[in-house]
């Protein structure tokens, strides 16, 4: 089954709860009425008796339950019927309620058709600036002696917040290493 990802992007956390919205236009191009629906992960849950022990949920199930209980992703109009040639809009909302990456797998089903697996993704960012390196460890490649030009290794950093960020790199350790090697520029920024 093919998975389609709907990325809501990076959204700053706000005092209010203004969602990011993706609108999907559904159109029946066939010659017969089409019944459709979005199936959320909790749509097939069975009401458990109070004495039943459901066991410990997996981390994935716990994360899904958290996303569903907080209503991070909301689908406006989860099901419907389209007559031949008819079309309608359906909205999926992403509410930036907590700072983290969110994802949820949802099925889109047309009656008597193959289901599509949709993965909703979004990330809520801090209001303040926050610096992050994309990797915490960099493995430098071996370098042959006598190269005319030095090898350059990019080290990416990004601002996870919504405000401007000023940063400064402390090069003192690099300078010490270079001095210990007869002022040869082993590392340079």
Q: What is the dihedral of CA 132, 135, 141, 143, to 10 degrees?
A: 10
Q: What is the mean pLDDT of residues 145-165?
A: 81
Six token digits for residue 97? 């309620």
Q: Which residue has the higher pLDDT, 127 or 121?
A: 121
Q: What is the mean pLDDT of residues 126-131?
A: 71
pTM here is 0.64
Each residue of 9-61: pLDDT tens digit? 888 777 566 889 999 899 999 899 999 999 988 776 555 566 666 678 788 88
Each residue of 67-79: pLDDT tens digit? 999 999 999 999 9
Q: What residue spans define the domains of the chain?
A: 3-125, 126-189
Instruction: Judge: domain 3-125, CATH 2.60.40.10.
Output: yes
């Amino acid at each position: 089954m093919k998975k389609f990802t709907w990325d809501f992007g990076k959204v700053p956390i706000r005092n209010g709860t203004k969602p990011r919205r993706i609108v999907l236009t559904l159109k029946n191009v066939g010659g017969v009425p089409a019944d459709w629906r979005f199936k959320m992960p909790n749509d097939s849950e069975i009401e458990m008796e109070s004495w039943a022990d459901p066991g410990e949920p997996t981390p994935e199930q716990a994360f899904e339950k958290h996303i569903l209980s907080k209503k991070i992703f909301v689908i406006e109009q989860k099901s419907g019927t389209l007559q031949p040639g008819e079309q309608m809009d359906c909205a999926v909302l992403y509410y930036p309620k907590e700072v983290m990456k969110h994802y949820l797998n949802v099925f889109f089903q047309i009656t008597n058709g193959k289901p599509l697996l949709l993965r909703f993704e979004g990330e809520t960012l801090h209001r303040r600036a926050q610096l992050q390196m994309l990797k915490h460890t960099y493995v430098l490649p071996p370098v042959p002696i006598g190269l005319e030009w030095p090898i350059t290794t990019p080290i990416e950093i990004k601002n996870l917040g919504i405000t401007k960020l000023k940063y400064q790199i402390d090069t003192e350790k690099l300078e010490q290493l270079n001095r210990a090697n007869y002022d040869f520029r082993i590392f340079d920024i």
